[in-house]
Amino acid sequence: MFVKLVATFALATAGANAAVRQAICSSHGMFLNTESGHTPCDIGALLVGGGIKPADSPFPDLISQGLDRYPAPSANEADDLRCNPIFYNLASACGACQASTLNWTTWAEWTVNCKSVTSPAYVIERMPADIPIPGWAFVPPAITNGTFDKFSALTESAATIPDSYFPKLVVTAITVCDSPKLTPSQLAGAIVGGLVGLGTLILIAAFIFLRRTQAARSVVGGFGRASTSSSADSIMRQKATT
């Protein structure tokens, strides 16, 4: 009888472990690890656990579940974190790094149960300092055909840009930081406006730099010509006196 109970407990434990099996990025999907070696699944799980991976993984292994993408959060799951474009990108990337089909839930489908959408500032405020979030996670799906931007993810995963560098620059430039809850359309408009404003500032700075460089060259050139003319006049005066 005791042996049967032990066997039953072992089977139940094995079943429970299989049910919460952590997703592992494999060679079948896209390579989207950060420069520190974290996978999108790791970062998303750490955000859910506030810096500690929860016992019940928010990202179970897709293949063992017979899925090729993560479904949208249910009404009970649709909290401020999950109703965030950064978390959506991380969840999509977690699926993309496991499966070769490269399918993921669209942003509209993902937010169907969300009462509101939080801004990137929400994630940055709750992000522990030692969790690197890749820049591609901050690309708003609302301006990339309403879905996860795999091209941006692939490009940055292969680049040498430090993790969390680009997002801090973008969030500094946009005005959504003071308003943590926005509708999807408001969020898209604010981020697009912020990016346009950032680009304008960069162009203005470049224009001023070029103008100053040209002015400096003109001064140096004029000084050189004046010096040459002065030297020629001195030589002529010396010849006249001799």
Is the per-residue pLDDT at 164 higher than 80?
A: no
Q: Residue 219 falls within a domain, yes or no?
A: no
What mean pLDDT comes out for the span 197-224? 50
Q: Tell me, what's the pLDDT at 155?
A: 82
Identify the weakest region by mean pLDDT among 63-67, 178-182, 183-187.
178-182
Judge contact between 166 and 180, C-beta under 8 A: no
Q: Tell me, what's the pLDDT at 97?
A: 86
134/154 Cα distance (integer angstroms): 11
H helix intervals, the chain = 2-19, 40-48, 62-65, 85-96, 107-110, 120-126, 150-158, 165-173, 184-241
Q: Residue 150 falls within a domain, yes or no?
A: yes
Is the per-residue pLDDT at 199 higher than 80?
A: no
Q: Residue 137 falls within a domain, yes or no?
A: yes
List Cα–Cα distances, 75 to 83, 114, 124, 220, in angstroms.
11, 7, 24, 69
Express each pLDDT in 103-152 by its tens digit: 789 999 999 999 999 998 898 888 777 777 888 898 899 888 999 988 88
Model-wide pTM > 0.75: no
Identify the weakest region by mean pLDDT among 53-62, 63-72, 163-172, 200-209.
163-172
* 3-state SS class at 87: helix
More confident call, 103 vs 175 = 103
The mean predicted confidence, pLDDT, of the chain is 70
Domain interval for residue 36: 11-214
Which residues neighbour 108 within 8 Å (Cβ) at sequence distance 6 or greater?
Answer: 146, 184
Judge contact between 176 and 194, C-beta under 8 A: yes
Q: What is the DSSP letter of 20?
A: T
> Beta partners for 60?
22
What mean pLDDT comes out for the span 37-46? 87
Domain count, the chain: 1
Q: Residue 239 falls within a domain, yes or no?
A: no
What is the percentage of the chain residues whose pLDDT exceeds 90? 18
